[in-house]
Chains A and B, each alone.
Chain A
Amino acid sequence: MHVGLLEDDLAIQEMVMLVLQDEGYTVTVFAEAEQCLEALGVTTPQPQVSPVDVMIIDWRLNGSMSGIEVIRRIRSCPHLQSLPIILTTAATFTDTEELQNLNVSLLEKPFSVDEIIMLIKQKTGTLPSS
C-alpha cells in the first residue's frame, strides 16, 4: 500500500512517516504543494493512474496554496476523483460542507497513532467502514 503525505512541518512529517512505515506502508513525502501535484499527474499529463493509494494532506501549508486548494485541483482530474484523501488540520474547522463535497475525511491534530492508521484502513477499504 502506497501513501502520499503532503506536510511541511518537518517534525510531523517525519513522525507520520515513521508511524506508517512501522505499519508496513510505503510512504512518499512532499513538502510542497507543487511537487505533490506534479507527482500525482495534475500538472503533468503523464500518469493516468494514481501513483498513490491514499493521500494525506495538511490544511495549512507555507507555500502559495492551502491544502483545500490542492484537494480541489486533485479532484479536477478524472483519474484522481476517487482517490481517498485525508485532510489533517490543527485549526478548528467550521466549514465542513466543502469537505463533504470534496469527499475528504478530516483528521484533527493532535491525532494519535491509532487514529491515523484506523482512518487509512477505513478509507482504503482494508477495514470495514463504521
Chain B
Amino acid sequence: MLNHRRFAGIVYSVQALLNCSDTSLILACHDATLRHPLLQRLPFYLHQELSFFSVTHTEYLLYDSRIQSLCDIVLQTGHIWYYRHAQRDVMLAAPLERPQGLLGLLLCSRKEPFTPGDFRLLQQTLPRFSQDVERSLEELSSSLFLSEQSSMQDQYEFLSLVCHELRRPLTTIKGYTGLLQSCDDAIESARRQRYLQAILTAIQHLEAAMNDLFDISCLTSGRFTLHCQWIDLVSLCTELIEQEQERIEEARPGCYTLRLHVETPLPPIWADPHRVRQILANILDNAIKYSPQGGLIEMLLQQQAIPKQPPRINITVRDHGIGITPRQQRTLFQPFSRLHHPATSQVSGLGLGLYLSRKLAEAMQGQLVLQSVEGKGTNVTLQLPIAPTARQNDLPSSTTCEIRHSLL
C-alpha cells in the first residue's frame, strides 16, 4: 500500500492555509546535486506515479514553459517565487527543502494576489511541510524496502544468516557450560573464572546482535524514537576514545593508538547521546577491523559551515589501514548485502553495522559518509546538525489545526 493519503493531506493543508483555488505538490528535482537522497531511492516507476499531487491541477500545467521556469528558479534559489499571468491566476511556487536536499516544490494558484502576510505564513510553515513530506517519503521507501526484501527466498536467507550468527556464541556458551558441568569441585578458581568470562563474552555478542536486529526492525517499521538532549561532543568522544583504547589494549596490547583532535571550541549539539555513541563505536570498530596491522586511529571533530545549510559538526574517524575496494564500498551500506556474497568472504557479524549507523544518522538529520583508498586507509565522517534544525524533530507533525488558528 502506498501512502498517498499523507501527501494529499499536505496539499489540502497548504490549500486551506493560503486559501488557494488550487495547490499541487511536485516531488521532483532535476538538479542531482540539490536533490534529496530519498528521491533517488524510489524506483523510477514509482517516482513517476508519485511526483504529482494536486487538488484540480493537471500535469499539463507543467508543460507550460513559464511554470517550468518558475519551478527551476525556485529550486535553484531555494526561495518562494510567484508570477502573475495577465488573464489567469497568480502562480506561486515554494521549495520543499531539508538539510539533506530538495524534495520538490509546492505550486499554488489563486485569483487574488498573495500578500506579504501570506508569504510570512508560508515561510513559517514551509519547514514543517517539508518535514512532513520527508517523513512520508521515508516511510514509503522503508515499506518499499521491506516489500522488496519480503520475497520468500530473501526471508529464508536472512533468517538463516540470523540463526548462523546466534549459533556461534551459543556454541561457546554450550561448550563452556559443558566444561564447567563435567569439572569436579577441585577445579581451580582461576580456570572457572576464565570459563565464566568466556560465557559472559558470548552472551554480550548475543545481546549486541539482538539489539541490532531490534533497531533495524524499529527503523523499518517507523517505530523508532530518539531521546535527544544537548550534548557536549568533545566529552562524549573523549570518553568513548578512552574506553575503546582500554578495550583494544586488553585484546591486543600496544598495537593501536586512538587519538582525538578537536579544532576549535564546539557548541553543544541537540542529538541522542546513546545513538551518537553507538554510531561512533561502530565506526571505530570498523577502523580497527580494517587496520589488521595496528597503528594510529584518529577522531577529528570540526564545525562546518556550508552556505544555505544549517551549521553542522563533522566527526571523522580516520584509519591508515588496508582500505576498502570500490566494489566493496558500493555494497557496504546496503542491508544484508552479505546475503549475496559467497560464504568465503564472510566477516563475522550480521553486517548490519554501517547500514544501521547510516539509518541512525539520518534519523538525527545527519549523514554518514565514507571515503577510502585501497591500501591507504579509510575516512568515515558522521555529520550532525547543530541544534536549531534538529529541534524541529520535536515539533508535532500534524499542522492543519494550528495553521487555521493562526489564520484567524
Contacts and interface: CB of A to CB of B under 8 A. Distances in A.
Interface of A: 9, 11-12, 14-16, 18-19, 22, 59-66, 69, 90-92, 109-114
Contacts of A114: 178
B323 to A, nearest CB: 18
Contacts of A15: 171-172, 175-176, 179, 198
Contacts of B163: 90-92
A30 to B, nearest CB: 16
A12 B182 CA distance: 18
B344 A63 contact: yes
Contacts of B178: 19, 112-114
B182 A22 contact: yes
Given A9-B348, A14-B198, A63-B344, A113 B167 contact: no
Contacts of B344: 61, 63-66, 69
Contacts of A60: 164, 343, 346
A43 B282 CA distance: 38
Given A12-B172, A111-B171, A91 B179 contact: no
Which among A15, A63, A109, A114 has the greatest number of chain B C-beta atoms within 10 A? A15
B343 A109 contact: no
B233 interface: no
A42 B229 CA distance: 60
Given A60-B164, A60-B346, A113 B171 contact: no
Interface in B172-219: 172-176, 178-179, 182, 198, 201-202
B179 A11 contact: no
Given A9-B348, A11-B201, A61-B344, A113 B160 contact: no
Contacts of B182: 22, 113
A110 B174 contact: yes
Interface of B: 160, 163-165, 167-176, 178-179, 182, 198, 201-202, 342-344, 346-348
A62 B170 CA distance: 19
A60 B346 CA distance: 7
A35 to B, nearest CB: 16
Contacts of A62: 346-348
- Secondary structure call for the B interface: helix
Closest 3 pairs between A and B when the two form their complex, measured CB to CB: A113-B178, A90-B167, A15-B175
Contacts of B165: 90
B60 to A, nearest CB: 56
Nearest to A16: B175
A11 B164 contact: no
A40 B182 CA distance: 32
A65 B172 CA distance: 23
Given A15-B172, A15-B175, A15-B176, A109 B198 contact: no
B198 A66 contact: no
- Secondary structure call for the A interface: loop
30 contacts: A9-B168, A9-B348, A11-B169, A11-B202, A15-B175, A15-B176, A15-B179, A19-B179, A60-B343, A60-B346, A61-B344, A61-B346, A62-B346, A64-B344, A66-B344, A90-B164, A90-B165, A91-B160, A91-B164, A92-B160, A109-B168, A110-B170, A111-B171, A111-B175, A112-B174, A112-B175, A113-B174, A113-B178, A113-B179, A113-B182
A110 B173 contact: yes
Nearest to A59: B343
Contacts of B179: 15, 18-19, 22, 113
B158 to A, nearest CB: 13
A12 B168 contact: yes
Contacts of A111: 171, 174-175
Which among A9, A64, A90, A112 has the greatest number of chain B C-beta atoms within 10 A? A90
Nearest to A65: B344
Contacts of B171: 9, 12, 15, 90, 109-111
A86 to B, nearest CB: 14
Contacts of A92: 160, 163
A66 B341 CA distance: 12
Contacts of B168: 9, 12, 90, 109
B164 to A, nearest CB: 5
Contacts of A59: 343
Contacts of B172: 9, 11-12, 15
A33 B68 CA distance: 63
Contacts of A65: 344
A29 B163 CA distance: 26
A18 to B, nearest CB: 6
A61 B176 CA distance: 22
A103 B179 CA distance: 29
A111 B346 CA distance: 22
A110 to B, nearest CB: 4
A36 to B, nearest CB: 15
A66 B347 CA distance: 12
